[in-house]
Structure 1
């Protein structure tokens, strides 16, 4: 995690322009023993309880703008941080996705934990977060208890297990390439590396 934190500091301090880099397997990325997805995608494993993930958010928002429109960016909340509330927060993220308030809920939860230093300790706290995002309590409750949300949460748990994710933030590109974030030295190089990997299939 120290490497990730150092990267975050460096990425925001160094110039945004960078010459095309020669990205190498084993240095800039790792090849997972999996088949690449048919369509280009970036899957970010994260936790609302992870301070590095909170600091990583601006980088991911910039990446969304930098990547071609045909690249899908997905987020996968993990359950190995957050103790007893981890699974509930994962369901909250899935419900926010289902209700199309994912960006708002993400910002609110990160702010509650890392800026306001508030403890999210139960269902009412989660419902209050949805209310701040403009979702009425009954609608939020129904979404949280829905089959769809439980399925989405289960899928995120399986993804975490299948990709053997042990730390966050972790980026997997095209279901096959794991980004070594500590290998890049600027925002532009980070964006360039991820875009490079979205075009790979071998």
Structure 2
């Protein structure tokens, strides 16, 4: 079939528009590069669940950047499919921050973690509660409807104090030097500071999630 000059021009115009549209889409999707947006651990750590995408946030209740990243990270976690396992590990860079790690595992043991973790951060960053002593922490827990004796017994338990210590060891194994830090599949590390922004960090997490699936969860 021979096209008229008019139809040829119309086809060329449509092609130019299509290429322009594709170019705009590419421009809107920022390039994600190893070494710039994420890094790879020299010694990968074992994942807890096979055939899943494991995502760990290393954080500290008292970290303002963790508090600032929380809404975006929680929204990301909530929209993930069933093959994504998301968990948090508290980091105490100083011994006097250990009570915060114990608080995290106490709430987890009492089945209150999902409900109260954000409230802990709100209390610290918006209500100026430091929550560094056992008494202050217990009083805050009581204000959230938790029985004081139950809370203290759990907070002081061997299981909770052991988990808090192990969390510190894990932070060292993963070479965590700042929070918040996201580690995916025991090998890929990113964060808002590494990626540049909170929004870019989320895009990097989406990219790594797809990469891990493509690599058959390796």
TM-score by length of 2: 0.74
- Which residue number corresponds to residue 44 of structure 1? 57
How far apart, CA to CA, are the structure 1 residues paired with 2:125 and 2:145?
21
With 177-186 and 129-138 compared, the bigger mean Cα shift is at 177-186
Equivalent of residue 162 in structure 1, options 170, 173, 176:
173
- Which residue number corresponds to residue 192 of structure 1? 206
How far apart, CA to CA, are the structure 2 residues paired with 1:145 and 1:124?
12
- Which residue number corresponds to residue 183 of structure 2? 172
How far apart, CA to CA, are the structure 2 residues paired with 1:143 and 1:197?
40
Indicate conservation of the 8 Å contact 1:46/1:76, yes or no: yes
Which structure's CA Rg is the greater one? 2
How far apart, CA to CA, are the structure 2 residues paired with 1:117 and 1:180?
26
1:87 matches 2:94: no
With 34-43 and 185-194 compared, the bigger mean Cα shift is at 185-194
Indicate conservation of the 8 Å contact 1:66/1:191, yes or no: no
With 103-112 and 49-58 compared, the bigger mean Cα shift is at 103-112
- Which residue number corresponds to residue 15 of structure 1? none
* Structure 1: stretches of 5+ with no match in the other structure: 1-17
> 1:180 Cα shift?
4.7
> 1:184 Cα shift?
6.4
Which structure is richer in relative contact order (CA contacts within 8 A, separation 6 or more)?
1
Equivalent of residue 31 in structure 1, options 32, 36, 40:
40
> 1:170 Cα shift?
0.5
Q: Give the RMSD, CA atoms, in angstroms.
A: 2.4
- Which residue number corresponds to residue 14 of structure 1? none
Pairing of 1:84-163 with structure 2 (within 5 A): 84=96, 86-163=97-174
Indicate conservation of the 8 Å contact 2:190/2:204, yes or no: no
> 1:22 Cα shift?
5.1
* Structure 2: stretches of 5+ with no match in the other structure: 1-26
- Residue 139 of structure 1 aligns to a residue whose secondary structure is helix
> Relative to 1, partners in 2 of residues 1:88 and 1:197: Cα closer, same or farther, differing over 3 Å?
farther
> 1:145 Cα shift?
1.4
Size of the alignment, in residue pairs? 183
Structure 1 moving runs of 4+ over 6 Å: none
